[in-house]
Chain A
Amino acid sequence: MPDMASLAHPQQRAFNPYTENGGTILAIAGADFSVIAGDTRQSEGYSIQTRYAPKVFRLTDRAVLAVNGFAADGNMFVKKVKQRLEWYRHAHAKDMPLRAIARLIQTMLYARRFFPYYVYNILGGIEEDGTGAVYSFDPVGSYEREACRAAGAAQSLVQPFLDNQIYFKNQVPAPGTSHPAHLPLPTVLSIVIDSFTSATERHIEVGDGLEIYIVLAKGRTLHGTESIGGMQELTTTDDGERVFVVRRDLKKD
């Protein structure tokens, strides 16, 4: 027989406005490109809610935002950022620069400091000086510019791998040589794909599909990655930055 104390309390005493919807995102900056990727599985607990729910969104022709955490907050946040960018377009007749979008995101996140968007953001794209950039945020708006970042369910699996492969942590260059400062696009794409296939193997909340966005600086080419399966160009102009998306399958189990 249950004890009287447990009978006296209702089953749930307070409404919990948050949940966690799994998945993982990552972004890597190159010298003149940026790659932003995320898996497409959305889950709650042990249930897969859907095999295709995008977590990576194109904001402008040179900015792509990945969101991960509580999906409802994430979708609402992206929607609000997009509307703020639309107002910027109305006022200035151009797209907001990447570093300004980064600061905008920090302001919008911090505005909800005491009822936060439970979302980890990674913003990737091309700066006004033509360099590839990645900005990463915590849920209340702390942010910094980095060369690479992973977030979400498999962050603890992917980030150490990136530290090793991108920052060359724990690697010693051959005598008389040095590690490259920036990796070429084909290498970066391989690292991204390997990160997600590995995370899919070892983390139950990662899998189903992979979306990789590639942002190229003005006048740059895909460096021989045009032939990669499932690639599609999203930009309609060819005189500015260009955005591509690669859609691939991940294991569904």
Chain B
Amino acid sequence: MDHFPTNWGRPRNDAFDAYATHPIHQRPYNGPKDTFADGVQRTQQPIVTGTSVLAIKYKDGVMMAADNLASYGSLARFKDVQRLHQVGNYTVIGAGGDMSDFQYIQYILEELSVEEISAQDGHELGPVEIHEYMSQVMYARRSKMNPLWNSLLIAGFKDGKRFLSFVDLLGTTYTASTLATGYGAYIAQPLLRKAVEGREDIITEEEARKILEDSMRVLFYRDARSLNKFQIATISSAGVSISDSMQLDTTWSFAEDIRGYGAQTQ
């Protein structure tokens, strides 16, 4: 016998309101419960991943670079993935880590941008606002023990000011004149700091491009999850531009002279 009168049935089935004319009150469910029924699967580890993102400040703005690879473990799974994403008119966000989580981030930022644009009141989200929003989203998700498994760089230029910041899956944030995620934090960051720190207001666009390209080359030589195909985003008073994919020119002829491992001829 079910002792809960609310479960004894109703004179008619009004649980479905075809014309949505009235909010239907949901009756409490008093039946047997399955503890695991509302169990949810959370991101416990990244699956398809992007590697480093690099960014530096230069004289007229900020520049960011990332390659086009999304790996599945050690498998180079997707080789034409764009990891730099424009948000609004002043900001670029670059991601390392889980690519499906990054696509979700692109989706929520797109929703946010649409909402902002449709207000039609002249107010626009700049890099500062996008950074704050992303740090709140990332921190909120880590606090639910359901992180978005990414390291993000946010670069922008608005009202004459350069902006460059980092946010990761823990909600950790910081800003600096050179930033690098993933493997790049170990390999490229020292190179970038040497080239940029103290020279932020001197470096030209061409110079900045060369610094990033050289660092991407070193990363391609040393990071097994990287690709020699990459893009550069430039954000300045002229706005945002994300380049087409570019090829790194690399030299491998030295490999023949290496002795001690690999195929030996002598």
Give A residues with C-beta under 8 Å from B.
10-15, 17-19, 21, 42, 44, 47, 49-53, 70-72, 75-76, 115
Extra contacts besides A17-B170, A49-B172 (5): CB < 8 Å? A15-B42, A21-B172, A70-B170, A72-B142, A72-B171
Q: Are B145 and A17 interface neighbours, CB within 8 A?
A: yes
Measured in the bound complex, the distance between the Cα atoms of B139 and A70 in whole Å is 12
- Chain B interface category by residue count: 20 to 34
Q: Are B174 and A15 interface neighbours, CB within 8 A?
A: no
Measured in the bound complex, the distance between the Cα atoms of B185 and A19 in whole Å is 17
Give B residues with C-beta under 8 Å from A.
42-45, 135, 139, 142-143, 145, 147, 166, 170-176, 185-186, 189
13 examples of A-B residue contacts, CB within 8 angstroms: A15-B44, A15-B142, A15-B145, A17-B142, A17-B145, A18-B170, A19-B172, A21-B172, A50-B174, A51-B176, A53-B174, A70-B170, A72-B170
Q: Are B189 and A50 interface neighbours, CB within 8 A?
A: no
Query: Which of B139, B142, B175, B186 touches A50 (beta carbons < 8 Å)?
Result: B175
Chain B residue with minimal CB distance to A76? Answer: B139
Measured in the bound complex, the distance between the Cα atoms of B189 and A17 in whole Å is 25
Chain A residue with minimal CB distance to B169? Answer: A15
| A10-B45, A12-B45, A47-B189 given; A76·B174 CB < 8 A | no
For the complex of A and B, the 3 pairs showing the least CB-CB separation, nearest first, are: A72-B171, A50-B174, A50-B176
Q: Are A13 and B174 interface neighbours, CB within 8 A?
A: no
Q: Are B139 and A49 interface neighbours, CB within 8 A?
A: no
Chain B residue with minimal CB distance to A18? Answer: B170
Query: Which of B147, B172, B173 touches A15 (beta carbons < 8 Å)?
Result: B147
Interface centre among A42, A53, A72 (most CB of B within 10 A): A72
Q: Are A72 and B175 interface neighbours, CB within 8 A?
A: no
Separation in Å of the A249 CB from the closest CB of chain B?
Answer: 13
Query: Which of A11, A47, A71 touches B45 (beta carbons < 8 Å)?
Result: A11
Measured in the bound complex, the distance between the Cα atoms of B46 and A195 in whole Å is 42
Measured in the bound complex, the distance between the Cα atoms of B171 and A49 in whole Å is 14
Q: Are A12 and B145 interface neighbours, CB within 8 A?
A: no
Q: Are B172 and A72 interface neighbours, CB within 8 A?
A: yes
| A12-B44, A12-B45, A17-B142 given; A71·B176 CB < 8 A | no
Chain B residue with minimal CB distance to A49? Answer: B174
Measured in the bound complex, the distance between the Cα atoms of B171 and A53 in whole Å is 14
Query: Which of B44, B145, B174 touches A71 (beta carbons < 8 Å)?
Result: B174
Chain A residue with minimal CB distance to B46? Answer: A12
Separation in Å of the B24 CB from the closest CB of chain A?
Answer: 36
Query: Which of B142, B143, B176 touches A52 (beta carbons < 8 Å)?
Result: B176
